[in-house]
Chains A and B, each alone.
Chain A
């Protein structure tokens, strides 16, 4: 078996950029005051969990070659629904969370059908569904903010530690478990491989006998489930929700998108990993904790996104330039004809 030589080159940096950036941020944390405290680690990872759920859904759909921009509104709707059902209908938290998650599944199903059966571009369908979700939210809560009231049982549980010696909130651990579950699906199941294949080349996938429509619908459903479940849990974790969540400051949706790109998910589909996105989002969460100014957070995250996009574009251009070429043929020819230098 040929032994791979380790080379610290541009390809290596690019391949592992999310991990390297996380390490970089953590090293910078050594010089920041009160950065490595259990409270800070627990708070940063907990507060960053919602974006991880959104990034997860967005990544899967992006790998499948589409774009689900409803994740932010879906998560807000799930949060409002969960809090509203518990406050008004007095339903237990678990049931409220399940209903919130199921609403996410329904949203994903509708998105999938719009994209595959009605052949509406995912971008357009997403904008339409965003408006629908926004309207539904306004009708549901009449513009008011909903909260957990005085029932702190699940709020304390999600904010608290699941494993006493580990400075991580229960909410973050649930998020991590879900992420690894989806990673297993994507990496080791037929559905996961099909999602990659459909995203890489839909025509080839169809010729290979893959039911592309079903695969795309499944990707949207997983995305909807992540947004619904993540949003429902986040509503309880943060204690309140309102319709305009995420519309001010740094939108969680844009953070999720940035993390996908920084993580290395191909914006044209076919390549990507939820683990890359996960690591990138943790990196962004710690980056936000490092820079206390919102303006700096926006600037740095935006600059990282632009640089990654430029890199991806240049790399794709270079790949396309040599696509189909066999530069070694000339060397082989020279060798065979004895003219090699």
Chain B
């Protein structure tokens, strides 16, 4: 009797689950709640926005202006030649660009920036022969300096506007940042009239590969991917482009070769931000001392940018600053605390600064370890910008952190996809505007986005 009951229970559970699942897709646009970002849409830009830019410009090396230039896609409405069929859609896009604001009162769909790419003598393999402390070693990872002659045959833009188009967003994994990003993505899509599905592989590479296949199978109008891994991205975007679907990459940079299969990359210039942060740190250390690094997940672009970006900057500008260690303990505060405590024991007074890839749990762990060892003299910088991170900056526990607008990241992706649907030539690389948060200007970035 027991056996029979269990067998029936097993079959029944599977049947119910499967039946339930067939009715449960990803986040459907029709069911999507309005995000906090969307609710901000009607809020006029407060005076905090201009203050932020002013404060930002006062922070050391905070402005990207000298190296950045406006992307071609960011031309004013009057200068853009939009096909007749897309004009109504484009007007809607312009309205969304004007009205949508981030929770910290910055434009959510601000125009992208492009950076000048320095010339190097040699291909990626030749550059990798250089020492890891040489900037050029990372040239192809940093600048997405891909061979454009090898570009795939991209799908033609329908040039009839973004309204009614369906976009599938495949994020990298569950995190407070991701929640903030997806909410902003939904808000931006709603504002411009696009529908969406969102898949979350929970940081699993194989799962993301499966989602890419599922997304292709759904035949959406465009697919936006935040790659879990930079190397794997090439294969993912190749599949999407080979299937005749426009592929867009957001947030994390892929390998340079992947750009052959991507219509446009949108996201932060992590390398540049971390270099400016490192320059600020090096100056405060007066060009000497020891630095240790806690990395992002191995393999993703933040792993390289947030570790080797500052390391190469310090090596170039402050050669007397020594790299003590690099560790990848993940994002658990307790694990990071243990690593930092070990460093303090091992390196003693030689440890003068720590560079973190994350300003939330990693920062909490590192700060706790320094406080426990009464080593508050150790300067800690991090990539951000989270609520915990900003609180630590305000309290002085974090010396500084980069400002990466999460909602702006999503907004830029939606803007770029929309412009492509409107038949506008979009820049292949669109960076977010960049800034550094310090104790002096922390209030300019409140309330935090995540």
Residues of A participating in the B interface, judged by any CB pair closer than 8 Å: 9-11, 13-14, 17, 20-21, 24-25, 28-29, 31-34, 37, 39-40, 43-44, 47, 50, 143-150, 152, 155, 238-240, 242-246, 248-250, 252, 287-296, 299-300, 303-304, 307-308, 310-311, 314-315, 318
Given contacts A10-B4, A147-B255, A300-B21, contact A24 B298 (CB under 8 A): no
Chain A residues with Cβ under 8 A from B15's Cβ?
A: 24, 28
Query: How far in angstroms is the closest Cβ of chain A from B141?
Result: 11
CA distance A13 to B12 in the complex (A): 12
User: What are 5 inter-chain pairs, A to B, with CB distance below 8 A?
Assistant: A144-B299, A249-B202, A292-B211, A300-B17, A307-B10
Q: What residue in chain A is nearest B2 (Cβ atoms)? A: A314
CB-based contact B298/A244 at 8 Å: yes
Of residues 176 to 219 in B, which have CB atoms within 8 Å of A's CB atoms? 197, 199-207, 209-211, 213-214, 216-219
**Is B76 interfacial (CB 8 A cutoff)?**
no
CA of A152 to CA of B257, assembled, Å: 12
Let me know if B298 and A238 touch, CB within 8 A: no
| A14-B219 Cα distance, complex, nearest whole Å | 39
In the complex, the answer to whether A294 meets B204 with C-beta atoms within 8 Å is: yes
Chain A residues in 8 Å Cβ range of B328? 143
Query: Is the beta-carbon distance between A43 and B214 smaller than 8 angstroms?
Result: yes
Alpha-carbon gap, A50 to B204, bound state (A): 14
Q: Which residues of B contact A303 (CB under 8 A)?
A: 13, 17
Most buried by A among B10, B26, B257, B328: B10
A240 is contacted by which of B13, B14, B232 (Cβ under 8 Å)? Answer: B232
Q: How far apart are the CA atoms of A293 and B216 in the complex, in Å?
A: 16
A220 and B308 CA atoms in complex are apart in Å by 42
Per DSSP, chain A at the interface is helix
Q: Give the shortest distance, in Å, between A259 (CB) and chain B (any CB).
A: 14
Determine whether the beta carbon of B231 is less than 8 Å from that of A245: no
Given A288-B210, A291-B24, A292-B26, also A249-B201 (CB < 8 A): yes
Give Cα distance in the complex from A288 to B243, angstroms.
Answer: 22
Proximity string of chain B (1-40) to chain A, C-beta cutoff 8 Å, 1 when within and 0 when not: 0111011111101110111011111100000000000000
Partner of A147, one of B6, B199, B204, B234: B234
B18 lies within 8 A of A10 (CB): no
Q: Once the chains are docked, how many angstroms separate the CA of A290 from the CA of B257?
A: 32
Cβ–Cβ < 8 Å partners of B150 in chain A? 150
In the complex, which residues 234-263 of chain B have their Cβ closer than 8 Å to any Cβ of chain A? Answer: 234-235, 238, 243, 255, 257
- CB of B173 within 8 Å of the partner chain: yes
Residues of B with Cβ closer than 8 Å to A?
2-4, 6-11, 13-15, 17-19, 21-26, 150, 173, 197, 199-207, 209-211, 213-214, 216-219, 229-232, 234-235, 238, 243, 255, 257, 297-299, 328
Bound form: Cα–Cα A289–B234 in Å? 22
Tell me which residues across on chain B come within 8 A of A295, comparing CB atoms: 202
Closest to A248 in B: B203
Contacts of A249 in B (CB 8 A): 173, 201-204, 206-207
- For the A-B complex, the count of residue pairs with Cβ-Cβ distances under 8 Å equals 182
Chain B positions within 8 Å of A288 at CB level: 210
**Chain B hits for A34, CB < 8 A:** 217-219
Cβ contacts under 8 Å, B232 to chain A: 145, 147, 238-240
Q: List, in ascending order, chain A residues with CB within 8 A of B229's CB.
A: 145, 240, 242
CB-CB under 8 A for A24 and B255, given A34-B217, A315-B3: no
**Residues on the B chain within 8 Å of A147, using CB:** 231-232, 234-235, 255
Q: Please name the residue on chain B nearest to A11 by beta carbon.
A: B3
Minimum distance in angstroms from A237 CB to a CB of chain B: 9
Q: Looking at the complex, which one of B18, B217, B297 makes contact with A244 (CB distance below 8 Å)?
A: B297
- Of chain A, the residue at the smallest CB distance from B210 is A47
Q: Which of B14, B22, B207, B214 is close to A250, meaning CB atoms less than 8 Å apart?
A: B207
- CA A307 to CA B238, docked complex, whole Å: 40
Min distance, Cβ B197 to any Cβ of chain A, angstroms: 8
Known pairs A39-B217, A240-B234, A300-B21; A246 contacts B298 (CB<8 A): no
A289 touches B205 (CB 8 A): no
A37 cross-chain contacts in B, Cβ below 8 A: 217
Which of A143, A144, A240, A318 interacts with B2 by CB under 8 Å?
A318
Residue of A nearest to B239 (CB): A159
Q: Is the interface of B mostly helix, strand, loop or mixed?
A: helix
- Contact status B217-A145, CB under 8 Å: no
Residues on the B chain within 8 Å of A17, using CB: 7, 10-11
A249 to B228, CA, bound (A): 12
Residue in B22, B211, B243 whose beta carbon sits within 8 Å of that of A32 in the complex = B22
Q: Which 5 A-B pairs have the closest CB atoms?
A: A249-B204, A239-B235, A43-B213, A291-B21, A10-B4
A-chain residues with CB within 8 Å of residue B8 when the two chains form the complex: 10, 13
- Distance in angstroms from B306 CB to nearest chain A CB is 14
- Do B22 and A290 have beta carbons less than 8 Å apart? yes
List, in ascending order, chain B residues with CB within 8 A of A250's CB.
204, 207
Residue of B nearest to A255 (CB): B206
Contacts of B206 in A (CB 8 A): 47, 50, 238, 245-246, 249, 252
In this complex, the member of B7, B24, B213 whose beta carbon has the largest number of chain A beta carbons within 10 angstroms is B7
Closest Cβ neighbor of A289 among chain B residues = B214
Are B199 and A292 closer than 8 Å at their CB atoms?
yes
Chain B residue contacts of A44, Cβ below 8 A: 210, 213
CB distance from A163 to the nearest CB of B (A): 20
Which residue in chain B gives the minimum CB-CB distance to A42? Answer: B213
Given contacts A9-B4, A28-B22, A293-B24, contact A311 B201 (CB under 8 A): no
The docked-state distance in angstroms from the alpha carbon of A18 to that of B219 is 31
Contact B18 A290 (CB under 8 A): yes
B3 contacts A25, C-beta separation under 8 Å: no
Excluding A25-B14, A37-B217, A249-B204, 7 further A-B contacts by CB distance (< 8 Å) are A10-B7, A39-B213, A145-B229, A145-B230, A240-B234, A242-B229, A295-B202
Q: Which residue of B lies closest to A312 (CB)?
A: B6
Which among B11, B26, B205, B219 is the interface contact of A293 at CB below 8 angstroms?
Answer: B26
Q: Are B24 and A292 in contact (CB under 8 A)?
A: yes
Q: Does the CB pair B207–A14 fall under 8 Å?
A: no
CA distance A292 to B15 in the complex (A): 16
Q: How far is the CA of A308 from the CA of B209 in the complex (A)?
A: 29
Output the nearest chain B residue to A304 by Cβ-Cβ distance.
B14
Most chain A CB within 10 A, of B9, B218, B299, is at B299
* A9 to B218 alpha-carbon distance, docked (Å): 39
For A290, the chain B residues whose CB sits under 8 A away are 18, 21-22
